[in-house]
Amino acid sequence: MSSLHFCAECNNLLYPEVDRTNHVLLYACRNCNYQQESRESLVYRNDLMSVTKEQPGIVDNLMKDPTLRRTHDLNCPSCGHAQAVLFQDQSKRIMNRMILFYVCCRCNHLFRDPTQPSPAVGPGQVWNDRKKK
């Protein structure tokens, strides 16, 4: 990824521009018309399709969040309580399906729906239900 470039004459920020006649990427100053040719052809890369393991993130006090969806159809495996908040796994997936995490509103236990198949985990990784302290 490219970094910020500054004008050699007036020290202002250089902005990427395309020289359509020569088919090259330039960095140009908007103050003094200084231009320099870019060494690389990439200005910015936004990689949305990266793969990471399931990440429930921070689950403290999620049961108090009024914006999260709630369910009364799934009993907590830890305490048996029937109310839980649910949220989507925070990783970005290419091949796998969406993973939903549940947090019990009574004991704050983090778990997945037991009727769903286990998520695919990489070598040496184990997905465990865990209880948040």
Please give the chain's pLDDT, 133 residues, in tens: 457 889 999 999 999 999 999 989 999 999 998 999 988 877 777 665 555 555 555 667 777 888 889 999 889 999 999 999 988 876 655 556 677 889 899 998 888 877 776 655 444 444 454 444 4
For residues 36 and 96, give the distance between their C-alpha atoms in angstroms, rounded to a whole number: 44
Please tell me whether residues 120 and 64 are part of one structural domain.
yes
Q: What is the pTM of this model?
A: 0.46
105 is in an annotated binding site: no
CA atoms within 13 A on the CB side of 23: 0
Give the CATH number for residue 87: 2.20.25.10
Q: Measure the CA angle with vertex 121, ends 78 and 49; round to 5°.
A: 115
Please tell me whether residues 69 and 9 are part of one structural domain.
no
Give the domain extent around 69.
49-133
Please tell me whether residues 71 and 37 are part of one structural domain.
no
10 is in an annotated binding site: yes
Domain boundary among the residues 46, 63, 79 is at: 46
Please tell me whether residues 57 and 113 are part of one structural domain.
yes
Please tell me whether residues 19 and 78 are part of one structural domain.
no
**At a CB cut-off of 8 Å and minimum separation 6, what does 128 contact?**
none
